[in-house]
Amino acid sequence: MWRSPAFSFPELQTPAALTLAALCSYTGSGDREGLVLHAKGLVNALVATASLARKLLVQFIFGRLTLNDAHHSYDRILNFVLFKVVSVRATLDADWEDLAIWTIAYCCFGALYLIGGLARDHLEHLRLSPAQPGIRWGFVGLMAMLMVLATVLAGVCWTVLRPLFGILFIEALTILFDVGQTLVKYLAYAWDSDSTESWEARSDAVLVCEFSTDICILLLTLLHYTHILVINGITLNIVSVLVFLNIRSIASKLLRKVRKLVAFWRAVESMRCRFPDASKEDIIRFNDRCSICREVLLTAKKLPCDHLFHRSCLRSWLVRHLSCPTCRVALSEGDIGQWAAVSTQASPDASEHGSDMIFAAATTSQ
């Protein structure tokens, strides 16, 4: 196997070798009869160079990927390619030039989607890690660059590719919302870990951001597949069946998200009415820490048993337990109990957020 002293990572050696071989195949054929070989060599060189650039970017920002991250990336790319083949088959009936435009556009979107998925996995690792390293500006810069690229692609699809903007423009907006969600959540967690004081509004801000962006992504995707169904027409073929199943699955996911958002606001309002805010005298008198997160109480909710907790910690506790976290005194059921029952139900998209919900539609719709 070809090895280069410039690369110490084994996973980078294969793309580097492919790039070198592709460039040699492109530059080594100079006869006029080898025009087709020239084109193939150029395509191979571009693909291999893009693969090497992606590997270097991933290695520089995220480090060595774990086995689960690699499997998630392969699944994302496979599902992305499957869904885009279906959409192209449903909408495209043109020559090779149009097919090349679609291929280049979806390659760009696929690269952004893959890096955005790796960023979400990286965010989950950072959130669950006991050591909070603070803000990594390289990660923030990568997310900002992805948002800029998605915006540029959206502008190109709207202006240059005007006849196709109804599909490609939605693709760019979906990636923009998805990457924006990851960036906002990362900044919230990093800011909270760097701050010496507890930021109770962080969980509410993160939940509202996640709900709103997920609903926007699902609405855009529902519009996207409805557009494909209108273009393709309702006929008895496999493409129409797949598009219809995806529309049904995404509509059900959207309905679940809206129900969870409504239940969340009901729970917040119920907590505000049932449990009063602790006064400063109560906090000074108890001089205690939150029993759930073990952080200092600056503002707190007061239970009927006179125990104090952070509002966000108490809400997270009441999702699964309708009792005081300290003395286990039972709390009255109501809107909070209904919200807990809704929140603890197993749902197909419990571990999904952002655009990952879209590409999991095939497994949940069957």
**DSSP letters of 63-120?**
-SPPHHHHHHHHHHHHHHHHHHHHHHHHH----HHHHHHHHHHHHHHHHHHHHHHHHH
User: Which two structure tokens, joined as six digits, stand for 256?
Assistant: 């679940």
Long-range (24+ apart) CB contacts under 8 A made by 240-248 are: 240/90, 242/86, 242/362, 243/86, 243/90, 245/361, 245/362, 245/365, 245/366, 246/83, 246/361, 246/362, 246/365, 247/222, 248/365
Q: What is the pLDDT of residue 11?
A: 46
The residue whose two tokens read 């709390």 is 331
Q: Is 328 left (phi over 0), alpha (psi -120 to 50) or beta?
A: left
Q: 198 pLDDT exceeds 80? A: no
Tell me the residue type at 145: M
Q: What is the pLDDT of residue 132?
A: 61
Q: 342 pLDDT exceeds 50? A: no
CA distances from 345 to 248, 322, 330, 349, 350 (A): 20, 16, 21, 11, 9
Query: 102-116, 152-166, 221-235, 345-359 — which is least confidently predicted?
Result: 345-359
User: Which two structure tokens, joined as six digits, stand for 140?
Assistant: 């923030």
Q: Confidence class of residue 349 from pLDDT cuts 50, 70 and 90?
A: very low
pLDDT digits (tens, 9 = 90+) for 144-185: 999 999 999 888 888 877 666 667 888 889 999 999 999 988
More confident residue, 8 or 300: 300
In the beta sheet, which residues pair with residue 296?
Answer: 289
Percent of the chain with pLDDT strictly greater than 70: 64
| Closest among 325, 298, 326, 323 to 310, alpha carbons compared | 298
Tell me the residue type at 90: A
Mean pLDDT of the chain: 72
pLDDT digits (tens, 9 = 90+) for 85-129: 777 766 666 567 777 777 788 888 888 888 888 888 888 877 776
Angstrom distance (rounded) from CA 191 to CA 134 = 7
Most confident of 6-15, 61-70, 97-106: 97-106
Query: Hey, what's the torsion of the CAs at 268, 321, 205, 131, to 10 degrees?
Result: 160
Query: 35-49, 175-189, 248-262, 345-359 — which is least confidently predicted?
Result: 345-359
Q: What is the pLDDT of residue 281?
A: 79
CA distances from 149 to 152, 240, 251 (A): 5, 32, 29
What three-state secondary structure class fits 58?
helix
Angstrom distance (rounded) from CA 298 to CA 283 = 8
Q: What is the DSSP letter of 351?
A: T
Angstrom distance (rounded) from CA 205 to CA 188 = 8
More confident residue, 86 or 353: 86
Cβ 216 vs Cβ 169: under 8 Å? no
Angstrom distance (rounded) from CA 250 to CA 364 = 10
Q: Confidence class of residue 241 from pLDDT cuts 50, 70 and 90?
A: confident
Q: Confidence class of residue 195 from pLDDT cuts 50, 70 and 90?
A: low
Q: Confidence class of residue 352 from pLDDT cuts 50, 70 and 90?
A: very low
Residues 6+ apart with CB under 8 A from 354: 116, 120, 177, 178, 181, 182, 213, 214, 217
More confident residue, 201 or 113: 113
What three-state secondary structure class fits 141?
helix
Q: 280 pLDDT exceeds 60? A: yes
Q: Is this model's pTM higher than 0.85 or not? A: no
Mean pLDDT across 294-305: 78
CA 200 to chain centre: 24
Q: 262 pLDDT exceeds 80? A: yes
Classify the C-alpha dihedral 126-132-135-136 as positive or negative: negative
More confident residue, 103 or 362: 103
Residues 6+ apart with CB under 8 A from 193: 132, 134
Q: What is the pLDDT of residue 219?
A: 92
User: Which two structure tokens, joined as six digits, stand for 340?
Assistant: 């807990």
Q: 335 pLDDT exceeds 50? A: no
Q: 290 pLDDT exceeds 80? A: no
| Closest among 196, 109, 106, 185 to 143, alpha carbons compared | 185
Q: 327 pLDDT exceeds 50? A: yes
Q: 243 pLDDT exceeds 70? A: yes
The residue whose two tokens read 């495209």 is 92
| Closest among 351, 338, 344, 308 to 326, alpha carbons compared | 308
Most confident of 108-112, 233-237, 296-300: 108-112
Percent of the chain with pLDDT strictly greater than 90: 4
| Closest among 312, 295, 301 to 273, alpha carbons compared | 301
Is 284 buried (19+), middle (13-18) or exposed (0-12) by CB count in 10 A? exposed
Q: What is the pLDDT of residue 84?
A: 78
Angstrom distance (rounded) from CA 365 to CA 293 = 39
Angstrom distance (rounded) from CA 217 to CA 210 = 10
Mean pLDDT across 52-78: 74
Mean pLDDT across 243-247: 83
